[in-house]
Amino acid sequence: MDYKRLVIKIGSNVLTGPDGLPDRLRMERLVEEIASLKKEGREVVVVSSGAVASGRALVSVPERADEVAARQLLASVGQVELIRRYADLFRGFDLVVSQVLVTKEDFRDKTHYRNMLSCLEILLSEQIIPVVNENDVISVSELMFTDNDELAGLIASMIGANALIILSNVDGLYTGDPRDPGSVLLEEVLPTLSDLSGYISTSKSNFGRGGMLTKSHMARKTARLGIAVHIANGKKDHILAGVLNGSVPHTRFLPLRKPSGQKRWIAHASAKGRVFINDGARAALLGSKASSLLPVGITRITGDFNKNDVVEIADAHDHLIGLGMARYGSETARGLIGKHNEPPLVHYDYLYIQEDTKG
């Protein structure tokens, strides 16, 4: 597959052995594969877990430390070791890496978002491989991503990647528990497939925060933004080449058309409030003609937001149908609920409608 710009997410369960410590040989082989992709002229961003596991190999967690403090300790120590290892390995192929640590808050703020995009673009233009990870030292509770799959989807959307490859410790999405001999690998997921819950085991890996359920939700969302998503087994040798030439069985989420960069940001942004609309407004927003969200169609608002914050838009049954950027704050919006001839709360240029709500 002729993808020019790729995001490759490497999970904790790929970079660690059964004992929870770093699998150095696996990391070496993946670096070699990524270096080969670079030689082919592809642009690559690596989203890598493994800081906590790397820290676990270097220090012991004191008994007095709670879960958050333990994660901060291991991540702070381990991230240095993780990026050092990447730098040393890629240097063997005459490639330079950079470190990019982010939090969920960086995607909520439009200025931070643009600054991060500018940084990634200059790195890619200089043939440098960005190695991105969540800043676990300061990311706690509500500041945390669901897992690095979510982060990888955000990065892929941000840079307009052609594809996102998620490396896990299974071959992809199955029609049941992968350990069940009767389960079959789903090699292709169409954008129209709305319910994947029956195919997915809810079990997690021993070392990551997420599981196949979160991977599938993120993969569908990213594919609907025009980015092909592949879930494959990173424990296998030559996995990246196999995914790209189609020789290795894995799961591929087929992409839809790609929306504007503005709408890609809105689709992944963290909403500050929820706006409920009536059936008439719902029909207008989901119709074939581009429509803005007018106050006359709003029934109620929960949460507080300011101008340019992203808000969720839900129908009368509390079903999320999209997200949009507010043109004014929640205080003004509440005063305009149900009124005619008022400016739109969300203009259609800043409105992202979820594909599975259409039709």
Q: What CA–CA distance (Å, rounded) separates 270 from 106?
A: 10
Helix pair angle (261-268, 148-159), 10° resolution? 170
The β-bridge partners of 258 are none
Q: What CA–CA distance (Å, rounded) separates 40 from 184?
A: 33
Q: Is 49 annotated as a binding residue?
A: yes
Q: What CA–CA distance (Å, rounded) separates 286 from 348?
A: 11
Q: Is 2 annotated as a binding residue?
A: no
Angle at 323 between CA 4 and CA 346, to 5 degrees: 115
Contact assessment for residue 153 and residue 268, using Cβ atoms and an 8 Å cutoff = yes
**Largest Cα span, the chain:** 66
Contact assessment for residue 116 and residue 102, using Cβ atoms and an 8 Å cutoff = yes
Positions at the binding site for ATP: 9
Positions at the binding site: 9, 49, 136, 148
Positions at the binding site for substrate: 49, 136, 148
